[in-house]
Structure 1
Amino acid sequence: MATDPLPRAPWAVAMRWSRLLFCHWPVPVATLRPHVPPLLDIDTFDGDAWLAVVPFTMPVVRPRLTPPLGFGPGAFHELNVRTYVTYRGEPGVWFFSLDAASATGVAVGRATMSLAYHRARMRLEETAGTVRYASDRTDPRAPAAAFRAVYARTGPARASEPGTLEHFLTERYRMYTSDLAPRAPRRLWVGGVEHAPWRLAPAECDITTNTMTLPLGVDVSGRAPLLHAAEPLDVRGTLRRRLV
């Protein structure tokens, strides 16, 4: 299992991430700076910050010391908007939003991790390896946002090599969080995950609707993303600890 050198802590939740697609766009650092707490540095690759929209599903979520919770196939989908940051040289992920089709998942994520989870109406269908994904945000705490895409892998999966863009974008085992709006971002927490290294495959994707980044003032709808389809992963996550 790959991990980041966080202080040892027992895992709090086990998950399985499946049918995951990384959609990435390079953007200027200045575009994202107003939306990332000043305690965090925005990480760059060859001078660019990277903005991602990541659809996937979690068919299994298991809090520690409990049996697996069966949400049903495709019942607990997520859609994340994220970028990459460092804190005192330690790389991690910053989530702008996490839409989910589970009221429980949204409530727990907001309460225990201060993650910007929002309720959404979501649908995933898969036929012969092709995934049809749709999400419409329904949470009144956040601006409306939607995503619709059809995607499939187009080649074999492999682990990324250190120093490559793929490795920079995916091999991160920390997530930084701060005070949720409308509070000012004065506190900073970090949580960790552990899982096997990502195995990524080339992919094709037809995105017909993507307004997920518009709340950030960024419109990527006319730009082709860098795409990677990921093999399913079993993941363990720890609760947050406070840094500042």
Structure 2
Amino acid sequence: MARSWIMKQVWSDLLFMHIPVDEADVIHRIPPGLELDTYDGQAWIGIVPFEMKGIHPRGLPAVPYVSQLFELNVRTYVKHGSKSGVYFFSLDCDKPLSVWIARTFFHLPYYNADIKVARDEGQTRFEAKRTHKGFPAGEFAASYKPASAPFRTQPGSLEHWLTERYCLYTDKGNQLYRGDISHDPWELQLAVCDLEYETLSAPFSRSSPDVLLHYARELHTYIHSYQKL
């Protein structure tokens, strides 16, 4: 059972860009103790730009500056025992204080980045450039918008497998952690995306040129305290 939540976040204006990749390029990038999760034998990575807002610890109000940020994360999908979750390779963010908090207290690979977001007539343009000193560069620029009515994913479908995950895994040294996340099921929409450039998927060999695109308007999430594994 998940522990009591410690932080609330509202995730909004998300693009899920999922790319099928060769398992061999992913498996050595996840820590010992985690198993790469695949769908019908296929490994996936996700590139997800979005806005996070309404951030506040339980029992405290949202604080200006740290209560809103833009984020661009790169993830894959893993298991620990029978518990499926998300493992992040990188999380680029435009708020240095938020980066420091996430790296220091949540052991997550957050990086400082310049991020510019513009919205016009239902379309979002999201541009990010990593600026974190001493770490590899990363760039992304794309315009995206929803292209269907909202829908709930069906259990057993690829879309459900990719998105309906309620914990993250991370590590520090030789210690694994699991952080549970509570939220309602995703309401997704099909998406269209004009990708200008991105370097984040460069370390991975694509097993297909196809990219799976989904959009989500907003989701209220509750973050729980970590458990050591």
Q: Given the two structures, how large is their TM-score scaled by the length of structure 1?
A: 0.89
Residues 76-95 of structure 1: matches in 2 within 5 Å?
A: 76-95=69-88
Report deviation, 1:224: 4.3
Deviation at 1:201, TM superposition (A): 0.3
Alignment of 1:141-156 (within 5 A): 141-156=134-149
1:3 aligned residue: none
Aligned 1:37-116 pairs, distance under 5 A: 37-71=31-65, 76-116=69-109
- Alignment correspondent of 1:193: 181
Report matched runs for 1:3-22 at 5 Å.
7-22=1-16
Q: Deviations over 1:31-69 (max 9, x none)?
A: 101111121110001110101100001122111221123
Separation (CA, whole Å) in 1 of partners of 2:86 and 2:2: 19
CA apart distance, 1:223? 3.6
- SS state of the match for residue 213, structure 1? coil
Q: Does 2:215 match 1:229?
A: yes
- CA distance, structure 2, for counterparts of residue 206 and residue 135 of structure 1: 15
- Residue in structure 2 matched with residue 173 of structure 1 by the alignment: 166
- 2:54·2:62 contact (CA, 8 Å) conserved in 1? yes
**SS of equivalent residue, structure 2 residue 225:** coil
Structure 2 SS opposite 1:162: coil
Deviation of 1:187 (Å):
1.2
The structure with the largest strand share of the pair is 2
Distance 2:192 2:75 in 1: 20
Checking the alignment, whether the CA contact within 8 Å between 1:155 and 1:203 is kept in structure 2 is yes
**For the residues of structure 2 that align with 1:84 and 1:41, how far apart are their CA atoms?**
9
Q: Deviations over 1:2-59 (max 9, x none)?
A: xxxxx34221111110010000011121110111112111000111010110000112
Give % identity: 36
Residue in structure 1 matched with residue 23 of structure 2 by the alignment: 29
2:194 corresponding residue in structure 1: 206
Rounded Cα–Cα distance in structure 2 between residues aligned with 1:46 and 1:163: 11
Q: Distance in 2 between matches of 1:138 and 1:219?
A: 25
Q: Is contact 1:198-1:231 (8 Å) kept?
A: no
The change in CA–CA distance for 1:223 and 1:142 in structure 2 (over 3 A counts) is farther
Comparing 98-107 with 162-171, which one deviates more in the overlay? 98-107
Q: After TM superposition, which residue ranges in structure 1, 4 or more long, deviate above 3 angstroms?
A: 70-73
The more displaced of 103-112 and 198-207 is 103-112
CA distance in 1 between partners of 2:185 and 2:135 (Å)? 33
Select the residue among 124, 147, 154 that pairs with 1:131. Answer: 124
Distance 2:205 2:34 in 1: 23
TM-score by length of 2: 0.95
User: Structure 2: how far apart are the matches of 1:38 and 1:10?
Assistant: 28
Instruction: Output the aligned Cα RMSD.
Output: 1.7
